[in-house]
Amino acid sequence: MKPSIATHSGPFHADDVMAVALLHTFWDAEATVVRTRDAAVIEAATAVVDVGGLHDPSTLRFDHHQSSYTGPRSAAGLVLDWLDETNRMDDGLADSLRSGVMTYLDDVDNGRRHPASDVLCFPRIVETLCHPADTLEAFDQAFGGAVSFARAFLEGHREGYRRVQAARAEVLAAMRDAEASARNVLFFDRYLKWKKPYFGEGGAEHPTEFVVFPGAEGTWRIVAIPTRLGVFDQKRSLPEEWAGLTDGDLARVTGIEGSIFCHKNRFIAVFKTREDTLRALEMSGLLNRS
């Protein structure tokens, strides 16, 4: 028989949705979901989240409503801790999920904060998905859609984390090469997730100012490095005369026939080939090296 996951019926919230999605993604993708208030059905389930009055990871019971549980977690936070502690999830990925979504979700579900009214956060998304339902059957159907959304988020987060980890050694090597050459540009031969590894290795203090790498669509780009992760301020911006220009207009200014686009905020410029990009660096005076 397939494992089963029991949770409560009726209206749902971000924590029971995320708890089920976590179990499907990192424990058993084929586990059936039962939404019920029937104590016997809950008792018979393989795993129980957000209902049942028991927190006992050894028996896959993940409720946080009972007075005997005094921790900070929601049901989803309890599931994440269990997945991390039982090595079903990489520690780094678990920490990334905690800082990126789970601590906020725990705080909202336990009443320590309200969802930000001007941010499309996960609790607000789930609340919106729940609103159209008005019968138990409709709630069950809406819950399934919300879990599918959460699973897609988790799969994307896991893949993004994997890509960052895969890029780390390559980014560090490029940073060391740039330092050794007294060069202010990082060069990569493939499209990769460079920002998190770069700033994780002290990029905010690193002397590099630009990154050159191919785009997923086959063009090449110069990207101005921000001053720190998550901001748009740049260590050094692309030339002011490039700002907002495209195609022929940009080519007339750069002198590069393969010019395609420069953002008006001067943090990215796109060219047809690697050679076009290198020529643009040289001719604009952006490239410093020994």
pLDDT exceeding 70 applies to what percent of the chain? Answer: 99
By the 8 A CB rule, do 151 and 21 touch?
yes
What is the pLDDT at residue 37?
A: 96
Helix H segments across 132-226? Answer: 136-180, 195-200
Query: Which of helix, strand or coil describes residue 176?
Result: helix
Global confidence as pTM: 0.81
Choose among 32, 50, 47, 125: nearest CA to 88: 47
d(CA 64, CA 11): 17
Confidence at residue 288, expressed as pLDDT on a 0 to 100 scale: 83
* Domain chopping of the chain, boundaries: 4-161, 182-284
Q: Determine the pLDDT at residue 289.
A: 63
Alpha carbons 233 and 24: distance in angstroms, whole number:
39
Q: How many CB atoms lie within 10 A of CB 137?
A: 10
Predicted confidence (pLDDT) per residue in 178-232, tens digit:
999 999 999 999 999 899 999 999 999 999 999 999 998 899 999 999 999 999 9
